[in-house]
Amino acid sequence: MKKYFGILENKNLNLLAEEDQLKFMIENELFYLSNSYSIGLTTTEIKINEENQTIELKPTQVVINSFYSFLKEELSRDINQQFLSFFNDYNDRVYGLSNKQQKKIALKHFNKLFKKAKVLKASFVKREKDDNGIELVTNMNRFDFLKGRQNGQKKQLATTENILEFLNGKKDYFKNEQFINKPSTKQFIEFEANLKILISLNGQYKFEEDFHFTDLAKLKNQFANFGDTFKSFDIFIFTHKKIQSFTKSKMAYITSLYDALFEMNLVSNNKANFLNYLNLEHQLELTKLKYFEPEENKQHDQRVLQFKLELQEYISKKINSLTEEVENPNVNTSKKKNLKIFTDKDALDYLFKNTFNCK
């Protein structure tokens, strides 16, 4: 944000010729030139009329992202007010209830808020094949959709006027009531507040994997490099977070953790792969892990036993969570017979074009 906010707030820049100002904005990746043509359509061919060529100056994606982050910070008070108000009421509502009862209430709120954030009266599905080659149809991950919704909103807010005020460092422009009361600004505040609530509810009750607004996205990318080392993504997460929590006697604890993972058949039978993971992801410079014979080191044996108990509990929770989802599936029904259904290939394109009229 700091890289772009106020970058045009320079008296010397204003003295430059218009052509030089344009060159500065393009060279600094603030804008890019977009060409468009008028198209003539006949029954046999499509003709492009180059004489009616139009050149537009459009903000780059990095500027759009920076502006959006700036706007979230500037309007954080309004966003947080709705966020805190929701949880003040929600916490009173679920006080003293069991986790199962709380989750049931949270799910109702989650579905209601997602419907508000969704805007479109359409269903988004995903087609994929399982390990046996059987085609499956599942609902699109809601956080995939919300990320697309947010990207569409970024484009809506990135008007030439807003971007230029941002690049010129005009902070007062965004604090003005005229800007705050714009429908697009109010929609932005409501969406970001609801998104924040949805992320928080999902963080507490794990309705769905969120690979966009949490650390899971980064971990998922890291796991892709070590699929041959760990038996599953969940075990990778457990190992990664556990190693990050080690402060004292770090190498001793890592050695014990590896033995626990190996004995439970949760990592591959290749210590070199695990060493590679440690060196790349945790910035360690190791050439080997120490080996202990049974009962050679009692402290090591105790740590291994403790890690195995933690892993068993962790795996049991994951299994129970999956079992609960199978036994109590969330079925969304609709009374609308003309509900549109889109596959993941065209879902976000439709979202951009029909929600925000983005080209």
Residue 117 has pLDDT above 80, yes or no: yes
- Cα separation of 292 and 288, whole Å? 13
Distance between CA atoms of 162 and 153, rounded to whole angstroms?
13
Between CA 107 and CA 113, with CA 112 as vertex, the angle to 5 degrees is: 100
For residues 87-97, b (16+ Cβ closer than 10 Å) or e, as one string?
Answer: eeebeeebeee
Residue 326: what pLDDT? 46
Its pTM stands at 0.66
Q: Which of 123, 75, 148, 79 is nearest to 355 (CA)?
A: 148
Q: Which residue has the higher pLDDT, 264 or 42?
A: 264
Q: Is the dihedral of CA 246, 248, 253, 255 positive or negative?
A: positive
CA–CA separation, 22 vs 258, rounded Å? 58
Sign of the Cα pseudo-torsion (99, 103, 104, 105, in order): positive
Spatial separation of the C-alpha atoms in residues 189 and 110, rounded to whole Å: 18
Q: What is the pLDDT of residue 331?
A: 44
Residue-level pLDDT at 127: 78
Is 343 a residue whose pLDDT tops 90?
no
Cα–Cα distances in angstroms (integers) from residue 6 to residues 30, 66, 76, 213, in the given order? 12, 12, 20, 28
Find the radius of gyration of the CA atoms of the chain: 26
How many C-beta atoms lie closer than 10 Å to residue 143's C-beta? Answer: 23
Within 28-75, residue ranges assigned H as helices are 61-74
Average confidence (pLDDT) over 235-260: 90
The reported pLDDT for the residue numbered 334 is 44
- Strands 340-343, 122-129: pairing is parallel
Q: Where residue 248 falls among pLDDT bands split at 50, 70, 90? A: confident
What is the spatial distance between Cα 60 and Cα 243, in angstroms, rounded to a whole number? 39
Give the pLDDT score at 130.
72
* Residue 282 to residue 108: CA distance in whole angstroms: 40
**In the structure, what pLDDT confidence band is assigned to residue 358 with cuts at 50, 70 and 90?**
very low
Which band of pLDDT confidence, cut at 50, 70 and 90, is reported for residue 266?
A: very high
Instruction: Judge whether 118 and 32 are in contact, CB under 8 Å.
Output: no
Indicate whether 305 pLDDT > 90.
yes
pLDDT above 80: residue 177:
yes
Taking all residues of the chain, what is their mean pLDDT, rounded to a whole number? 82
Give the pLDDT confidence of 64-91 residue by residue, as tens digits. 999 999 999 999 999 999 999 999 999 9
- Give the residues across from 267 on adjacent strands: 230
Q: Where are the domains of the chain?
A: 11-60, 63-214+341-355, 217-327
**What would the mean pLDDT of 330-347 be, rounded to a whole number?**
47
Q: How many CB atoms lie within 10 A of CB 56?
A: 11
Distance CA 218, CA 43 (A): 50
CA–CA distance, 342 with 121 (Å, rounded to integer): 11
Cβ-Cβ contacts under 8 Å for 350 (sequence gap 6 or more)? 120, 122, 342
Does 359 have pLDDT greater than 50? no
